[in-house]
Structure 1
């Protein structure tokens, strides 16, 4: 467990040790919230009805995952809501992932307003000639 407390800790403490707040209202809310989670091999996962278990991330883990999915192997630089959806598809969860995704995209230099051309179109990352696609940084040499 990390030294810094995060949103994961109260849920984990309740699921592993049955530890609840002395405040009845907070304890009831935690019981209700904890029912949405499970612990597998010491890792907290969020349960879903129509999705597989999602690995819950601590705040110190989110920037790396956001960066990897936003930039991707081909530099897709997907935007806010699409990035949050991609996080879920990749199997990750934290409560503020939608707002964090939107903030992360706003900080991205490639998607900043200065990268938009006068016509309003962002420059493409695809090579000018189709035969060069195999040589692009995505998979070719």
Structure 2
């Protein structure tokens, strides 16, 4: 979600997971930060975490970081053209995302037209696993991690960015972490 995004949402207790022991132990102050580029970054993060009542930095070994591995594997399987379209410029929009019924129910407690009683019951059950934050819908995993729901256009853009290496190769274990945090901060 990014530290600034968590602050904007007035979250007071936060757990941060990272698959780079170096980053975690530097943020915890257990290891010295020597890289000049990271010294200022660490200072900024330490200022931002003052906004939280409790914040925990947790090392998550790379082999347990299944989501990043799954995205990297998926991206490597896609053959992207040499040029990629910029979705924002084309102003494409998915008017019927897969989660439209859940989003509508979460916003206004309205059911889709022609929904049977069984459909309504199923929708209520499904909705209990989702969280609505403003206009953004999240799926809550069993471990309470929130996954942002994206439509087909956003999914395409994410896959293209991963394939292009916007986050760098995942081989170094923390390329995407730094890219995500700098966007979130």
What is the TM-score of this pair, normalised by structure 2?
0.37
What is the TM-score of this pair, normalised by structure 1?
0.47
User: Which structure has the highest helix share of the two?
Assistant: 2
